Structure 1
């Protein structure tokens, strides 16, 4: 299992500085073939633009990094091939949603998505639309992903002013705790009702986690390391 480090941060300095990606340029033909195969398996995926990062600096309570844009096909190949460009990382915002009675609320990705079966907090690799005045707005990215995946808006939860920076391999997840205004089972039912109203929801199921022992079976195995590390940190396990 990939070791993870966790730091509490209060400030993000994430600048957008476009540049070529040598990995993507050098392996374009392979990347195109790989993406064509993925589209045959999952016709719903499309080759949009995403933001990736480099040069992370963690000093005291601030994380700094520089972002550039790339096509999703290149990102997917980089991920599937074991992150061959070690200078690049996936730096994304995560809404660490928790119910009023302490349950962590996670979603299971649907079969038509590129991450089918994986279980996460609402999250997503940032997009060019998340750029604000030359900076990458992960706070805004979280609000967008939360509403798209669950139907919840900022009126439905309290937002922690700080962040947890969790680094696991080629991922740096910036988790922002969100506490909903209702208990776990009610919150789960609200999100499930929203999913049922969508023609093609991103999420196939909602899971509640209250204790670290729940991470030791199939549920935890379906979660990326940054998710289990954060929950263990919060629950003292």
Structure 2
């Protein structure tokens, strides 16, 4: 991955358009075999439809890109095989939960997921439920993922207006700060209780970050780059 490049924008202009992905088409048999092996190890993996991007452009306070539909198997193979199709990128929204005491709260992905042990903010690869009138609704995707992973609903936090976009080449994390009016430990306890009520939660643990000393190698570079900026 490239060194992180940060952009702060107020507008996301993400059109969803039909496009045939050459990587997915030409390597279909290899992808199918790879995904079958992944499913044998992690039966919970599902080959649903997801949205990934191309033609990213930052201009003034706007981020624009074109998104297209593909299957999760192709996305996973592209990711795990080192992002062989350079023009394509994984662009997703993240809700950075910031507590009243300044702490950030992050989740650790469970061992049954495609990202076991990774620690980051609530997020997910966009899918067809995130499309509104031909556009990708990243704010709505963040709201949906946050509720699924933590149980928090929109009335329980305040969203900052801007997006902190962290680009590493094959990934663009669109991070919005969500402010919660409770201390970090209280929010952590609230989310842990919610996870305990779920049959198969995506998250296996909740972590509190109060400064650079709490950053770990389990956090993707786009997450640590964002947090380093917040604590600078």
Q: Same fold (TM over 0.5)?
A: yes
1:110 shift after superposition: 0.6
Cα-to-partner distance string for 1:72-113 (whole Å, 9 max, x where unaligned): 000000000000000100010000111111111000001111
Identify unmatched segments of 5+ residues in structure 2: none
Identify unmatched segments of 5+ residues in structure 1: none
Residue matched to 2:59: 59
Q: Distance in 2 between matches of 1:6 and 1:52?
A: 20
Q: Distance in 2 between matches of 1:192 and 1:155?
A: 19
Residue matched to 1:150: 150
Q: Distance in 2 between matches of 1:214 and 1:92?
A: 24
Q: Distance in 2 between matches of 1:228 and 1:207?
A: 14
**1:2–1:225: 8 Å Cα contact kept in structure 2?**
no
What is the TM-score with the length of structure 2 in the denominator? 0.99
Residue matched to 2:209: 209
Cα-to-partner distance string for 1:143-175 (whole Å, 9 max, x where unaligned): 000000000011111101111110013000100
Residue matched to 1:102: 102
3-state SS in 2 of match to 1:111: coil
3-state SS in 2 of match to 1:43: coil
3-state SS in 1 of match to 2:51: strand
Structure 1 runs, 4 residues or longer, greater than 4 Å off: none
Residue matched to 2:133: 133
Moved more, 31-40 or 161-170: 161-170
Q: Distance in 2 between matches of 1:182 and 1:3?
A: 34
Cα-to-partner distance string for 1:198-232 (whole Å, 9 max, x where unaligned): 110000000000010221xxxx1001100000000
- Number of residues of Structure 1 aligned to a counterpart in Structure 2: 232
What's the Cα RMSD here?
A: 0.8
1:2 shift after superposition: 4.4
User: Is 1:229 aligned with 2:225?
Assistant: yes
1:181 shift after superposition: 1.6
What is the TM-score with the length of structure 1 in the denominator? 0.96
Residue matched to 2:189: 189
Residue matched to 2:166: 166
**Which structure 2 residues correspond to residues 42-53 of structure 1 after superposition, within 5 A?**
42-53=42-53
